Amino acid sequence: MTTHQARPPSYDADAQGWFGGAGTGFGGRFMPEALVAALDELTVAWHEAMADPEFVAEFEAILRDYAGIPSPLYHAERLSQKVGARILLKREDLNHTGAHKIRNVLGQALLTRRMGKTRVIAETGAGQHGVASATAAAYFGLDCTVYMGSVDTKRQALNVARMHLLGAKVVPVDSGSATLKDAINEALRDWVASVDHTAYLFGTAAGPHPFPSMVRDFTRGIGDEARAQCLEQYGALPDAIAACVGGGSNAIGLFTAFLDDEDVAIYGFEAGGDGFETGRHAATIHAGDRGVLHGARTYVLQDEDGQTIESHSISAGLDYPGVGPQHAHLAAVGRATYLPVTDDEAMQALALLSRTEGIIPAVESAHAIAGALKVAEQLAAEKGPEVTMLINLSGRGDKDMETAIEYFGLGHEDVVLSDQVTEEPVGDVR
């Protein structure tokens, strides 16, 4: 299934990386001059690679033979019965390393080799992108250094061990809030000094041009495959599609194929943390404050002086105070709808999917499940049980067992988990 030279993406950026136009839109490149030459070089190399059939064929062969891609599109029948609508899951949790992220890192690492660079660096929050980067570096024989906030290296010791086993160097970052955003800062500082031989494997569809568009190109197979699978298996497109949004790489990977399908409603679910009203959340688009973070104009959690505010989420992968600029654009023009899902709603959905389908999702993906099931119930109430909701199950939950043990008090006989779909209606549509 050749997908990565499919039709050009809609709602795309202009040549300078602006989604929706310079000045009024989102994206661009707010970066030190020292990195501009490297970003220009990367932009040219990425364009040439994506236009080269040999590069695309090699990328897809590696995805197939090494990472188990395309992932299946699975009809979750017991869950569908409960909701009263047809629920389809794009099984990115079955990919090598357990999430959609392997697509992005294999694409960027293959490009790194093509550019003749020998070292890769990456940032990571919970460690998933770090593990994926270390995996890709091992596969291609590249040196790898991963920057990780020292708060995160302590709470994600297992992933630190994985990266070590895969041969990567893990550098704990103590500056700032010692979490993901500071790991990105430190990776950028490394890159300024090492750019002649080092590629920065950015972990999400955010950052300066060309990263938002390039990461989308490497992850868009999710939606291209799902769209074809849905048509082949059910003879029709879904009524709605849904994904969780932190930086937004799995979401833009799913959404891209459907942007021109006007009858397909698109939903992104952000981390609502303790609840939007508490201020302890990572619902960047929902909070809706324009700014510049990590090289792009986008929505940013910030105070009245423009200082970045720490985000909060039970899911480390969604715990980021910015969001990819293409999502900001899709929200601004109304092509996609972004809603917050709280920690509690996500954890209930995690339990529900585990008990109903025998699939333990990542806490990130559980946000998509929780939000999408509520929307599906509403759609089914309007249109009937033939309604189809396609959800990107972006990762598996093995990494989140500590979180689940703590949240549910697992391991005691008297723990009773709900298997009900959340009853609260979805939040206000932005």
By annotation, the residues acting in catalysis are: 101, 123, 394
Beta strands (DSSP E) in 234-299 are 240-245, 265-273, 290-293, 296-299
Q: Which residues pair with 297 in a beta bridge?
A: 27, 292
Determine, following the binding rule CB under 8 A, whether residue 42 of this chain makes contact with other proteins.
no
Q: Exactly one of 196, 232, 414, 423 binds other proteins (CB under 8 A); which one?
A: 196
Stretch that binds other proteins, among 34-42, 118-126, 245-253, 334-342 (CB under 8 A): 34-42
- Binding characters for other proteins, 10-29, by CB under 8 A (x = yes): ------x-----xx----xx
| Residue window 169-188: x/- pattern of binding to other proteins, with contact defined by CB under 8 A | ------xx----xx--x--x
CB nearer to other proteins: give 6 or 292. Answer: 292
Q: Residue 371 interacts with other proteins (CB under 8 A)?
A: no
Two tokens, residue 369: 């499940």
Per CB under 8 A, the list member of 304, 382, 413, 428 interacting with other proteins is 304
Q: Does 306 help bind other proteins (rule: CB under 8 A)?
A: yes
Q: Number of residues in contact with other proteins, rule: CB under 8 A?
A: 37
Work out whether 33 is an interface residue with other proteins (CB under 8 A): yes
The phi, psi pair for 370, rounded to 5°, reads: -60, -50
CA contacts within 13 A on the Cβ side of 45: 19
- Kindly list the strands in the beta sheet with 143-149, ordered across the sheet, starting from the edge strand earlier in the chain: 169-173, 143-149, 119-124, 198-200
**DSSP character for 309?**
P
Q: How far apart are the first and last CA of the chain?
A: 36
Residue from the set 6, 11, 14, 30 that interacts with other proteins by CB under 8 A: 30
C-beta of 199 vs 341, nearer to other proteins: 199
- Angle ∠(393,397,401) on CA atoms, nearest 5: 160
Q: Which one among 1, 10, 37, 425 touches other proteins, defined by CB under 8 A? A: 37
Q: Are 95 and 396 in contact (CB under 8 A)?
A: no
In angstroms, give the least distance from the CB of 152 to other proteins.
17
295 is a site residue for other proteins (CB under 8 A): yes
The yes or no reply on residue 367 touching other proteins (CB under 8 A) is no
Peptide linkage before 70 cis (omega within 30 of 0): yes
Among 69, 99, 120, 195, binds other proteins (CB under 8 A): 195
User: What is the closest distance, in whole angstroms, from the C-beta atom of residue 213 to other proteins in the complex?
Assistant: 16
Taking residue 368's Cβ as centre, other Cβ atoms within 10 Å add up to 30
* 300 binds other proteins per the rule CB under 8 A: yes
Residue with tokens 């994506």: 50
**What beta strand segments (E) does 150-302 contain?**
169-173, 198-200, 240-245, 265-273, 290-293, 296-299
Interface ranges with other proteins (CB under 8 A):
16, 22-23, 28-38, 175-176, 181-182, 185, 188-189, 192-193, 195-196, 291-295, 300, 302, 304-308
